Amino acid sequence: MLKAAPGARVVTPFYEPSACYPEFLEVPMQTSLLNRIRPIRERHRLTLPVLPIVMRQMRVDADVVICGTSGWAQGIRTEGRKIIYFYALTRWLYEREAYLKGSGVGRRVAASLLAPALERWDRRTMATGDRFVTEGTVMQRRLAEIYGVDAEIIPLPNTLDPGAPRRSVAGLSEGFFFCASRLMPYKNVDVLVEAFDALPGQNLVVAGDGPLLTDLRRSAPSNVRFLGRCDDDELRWLYAQCRAVITAAIEPFGLTPVEGAAFGKPTVALRDGGFVDTVIEGTTGVLFDEPEPAAVRAAVRCFEDLPLDEARILEHSCQYDEARFVERIRTLISQETALA
């Protein structure tokens, strides 16, 4: 988006440079007052009850504002045209069971108590949008159901350039199934671990960090390896060396199949959310119906017998080209600027 609008600033309640993409170091950042308090900045999820107030105190004076949101950004105040780009639904309101999977009773009770007021705020601030955009058909349908809006689709791009340098990961050789994921409950990485425990002839490699890393490592069988956080050059090597991408996550947009396809790699994925757009069953991969170990194992075995054409997978990846995304966002900004 910044490539589509050079010189634009980013407005966000929290920004921690050490935990973010280095490219943002050169971008003007406007943050909330809470961002000055390091313990809060590092544990921002604890501020959920007051974030509506925080967001309404932030203001942007611009002709066009793009609110990239999964729950908060649409609350920003502006006199300009407001484009709301939905990365995801507000999970703790509309996908609460998946979002709170594995959480304690206290967190579940707190979420239930806060939900009515937060939902009213969410719907009120969504109504301030002038134009609505999302990344795929499943999100488009859910937005129509929840908010009654007709969102246009601009798929997210693959930004992991296959031609850029790669750095090998020690102790690995080609032929593994690869999962790149934040280690959160709704990502269902535990389902993959349990599935591969009964697939001794297959290896699973997981790249990503998150609150479940320690527990998942502890429970992992010998054919499952957790790498933690990986840099882009390592991710490129992992995608290039893997046999297939695999995921059981519940996602609004299936990004890892898009990244894998750019390297000519197929995907084994849950038939849910964004994966129904980014995986073409029988052509670029295999889909399974439930986030259950037995379903994952059956899909892996089905994958063994599936003739897949690398050229067709690469062709599929072209629709997620970054330059195409940038041009479409640039056009969107131009159209809205004319109306400002």
List beta partners, residue 178. Answer: 205, 245
Higher pLDDT, 38 or 264: 264
Does 10-157+322-339 match 177-320 in CATH topology?
yes
Tell the residue number behind the tokens 């969102």, with chain if given.
151
Structure confidence at residue 98 (pLDDT): 67
Structure confidence at residue 97 (pLDDT): 72
Average of per-residue pLDDT values in the chain = 92
Residue 21 has pLDDT above 90, yes or no: no
177-320 homologous superfamily: Glycogen Phosphorylase B; (3.40.50.2000)
Query: pLDDT of 230-263, one tens digit each?
Result: 999 999 999 999 999 999 998 989 999 999 999 9
Confidence of residue 100 (pLDDT cuts 50, 70, 90): low
Confidence of residue 327 (pLDDT cuts 50, 70, 90): very high
Cα dist from 6 to 28, 78, 87, 207, 329, whole Å: 11, 20, 21, 32, 12
Query: pLDDT of 101-144, one tens digit each?
Result: 666 777 777 778 878 888 999 999 999 999 999 999 999 999 99
Mean pLDDT of 298-325: 94
Residue 289 has pLDDT above 70, yes or no: yes
Structure confidence at residue 187 (pLDDT): 94
Residue 5 burial class via C-beta count within 10 angstroms: exposed 0-12, middle 13-18, buried 19 and up: middle
Q: Which amino acid is at 284?
A: T
Residue 325 has pLDDT above 90, yes or no: yes
Confidence of residue 268 (pLDDT cuts 50, 70, 90): very high
Residue 286 has pLDDT above 70, yes or no: yes
Query: pLDDT of 198-216, one tens digit each?
Result: 999 999 999 999 999 999 9
Structure confidence at residue 206 (pLDDT): 98
Locate the domains of the chain by residue range: 10-157+322-339, 177-320
Percent of the chain with pLDDT over 90: 74
Q: How far apart are CA 31 and CA 6, in angstroms?
A: 19
Which CATH code fits 10-157+322-339?
Answer: 3.40.50
Query: CA 86, 236, 261: angle at the middle one, nearest 5?
Result: 60
Cα dist from 309 to 21, 189, 251, 315, whole Å: 34, 27, 26, 10
Query: pLDDT of 70-82, one tens digit each?
Result: 888 999 999 999 9
Q: Enumerate the H helices of the chain as residue ranges.
A: 38-42, 51-57, 91-94, 96-99, 105-126, 137-147, 189-197, 213-219, 232-241, 255-261, 275-278, 293-304, 310-317, 322-339
Cα dist from 145 to 75, 98, 274, whole Å: 20, 19, 17
Starting at the edge strand found earlier in the chain, the sheet holding 177-180 runs 224-228, 204-207, 177-180, 244-247, 267-270, 285-288
How many residues does the structure list for the chain?
Answer: 340
Confidence of residue 306 (pLDDT cuts 50, 70, 90): confident
Confidence of residue 147 (pLDDT cuts 50, 70, 90): very high
Tell the residue number behind the tokens 């007021």, with chain if given.
117
- Classify residue 185 by its DSSP letter: G
Report the chain's C-alpha Rg in angstroms. Answer: 20
